Structure 1
């Protein structure tokens, strides 16, 4: 009997999970940004319930609306105004939709292993860095993005210039 191969790994062979701290954010049109955290990446599919006529005890479910979670980016505040200007366009009502990629790197911190592409993203929320005269933390701002589509691409998906995380 010929040996069958699992395209996502070899049966019986251990594969270490990726670490969450080797990542980058690629925002079309933004060349600066030191991102320290990326959270909220997700998707929900509504489950529409219905009962079949004559079999009321059975509840069936069908897939309904798709809703993507908001993506929250935290980044070190710097002299760069690129992310602020992008947010200001939303405030002014002239939303600038951009493609954004969340890129995950392998254990070496340099080899791309996974990429999530967010299509038509735009900023909906900005939060300034907390200021504390007694603290010694880096000033970190928060930007929340909404988007229309999400795609997950394994290693080698290509892309544009990447702002390091």
Structure 2
């Protein structure tokens, strides 16, 4: 039996401490599950060929979630409180990659996330396409469970 890598189109996003409907767990795309190791260069006296690179800290970009606009969304109410009223309530988020049986085969637990941007796509009378909303969240780090 050979190994087949999982496909990336079956996933869901759960917001801990926010009561959400199943529609609030569905997104078109998720990006930003990335970690970079920042380094600092240190010059050594007498060594002119190179500088030593010392690891400093891990750096995580913003998490970007896109979906067709959802009316009466608890997640969007949470975003509006943060962006409009500065009522910042960080939550943990689980991004789950699902297998054929709709069970999670891998979960990224995103810690201490809160919204920094909310965008609704452009309207155009000459095109027939879905209205896409984009949520951009900052977070401290993620761990794979």
Task: Show the counterpart of 2:4.
Answer: 16
Moved over 6 A (4+): none
Return the offset for 1:152. 1.3
Q: CA deviation at 1:109?
A: 5.0
2:29 alignment counterpart: 37
Aligned partner of 2:89 among 92, 96, 105: 96
- Higher RCO, 1 vs 2 (CA within 8 Å, ≥6 residues apart): 1
| Partner SS, residue 49 of structure 2 | strand
Residues 71-93 of structure 1: CA deviation (Å, up to 9, x unaligned): 11012212223122211222212
User: Could you tell me how far apart the structure 1 residues matched to 2:94 and 2:54 are?
Assistant: 30
Count of matched residue pairs: 140
Alignment-derived partner of residue 122 in structure 2 = 130
Q: Distance in 2 between matches of 1:95 and 1:80?
A: 20
Alpha-carbon distance between aligned partners in 2 of 1:48 and 1:14, rounded to the nearest angstrom: 42
Q: Report whether the alignment pairs 1:77 with 2:73.
A: no
Q: Does 1:116 align with 2:104?
A: no
How far did residue 148 of structure 1 move? Answer: 0.8
Aligned equivalents of 1:111, 1:97: Cα separation in 2? 26
CA-based RMSD: 1.7
1:23-60 CA distances to partner (integer Å, 9 max, x unpaired)? Answer: 11011114132311111221111111112233332322
Whether the 8 Å contact between 1:22 and 1:109 is mirrored in structure 2 is no
Q: TM-score if structure 2 supplies the norm length?
A: 0.86
Q: Does residue 57 in structure 1 map to residue 44 in structure 2? A: no
Task: Give the greater-gyration-radius structure (CA).
Answer: 1
* Aligned match of 1:105: 98
What is the CA distance between 1:22 and its match in structure 2?
A: 0.8
Contact 1:131 1:139 in 2 (8 A): yes
Task: Specify every segment of 5 or more residues in structure 1 that has no aligned partner in the other structure, as ranges.
Answer: 1-12, 154-165
Q: Which of the numbers 15, 26, 30 marks the counterpart of 1:27?
A: 15
In the alignment, what sits opposite 1:158?
none
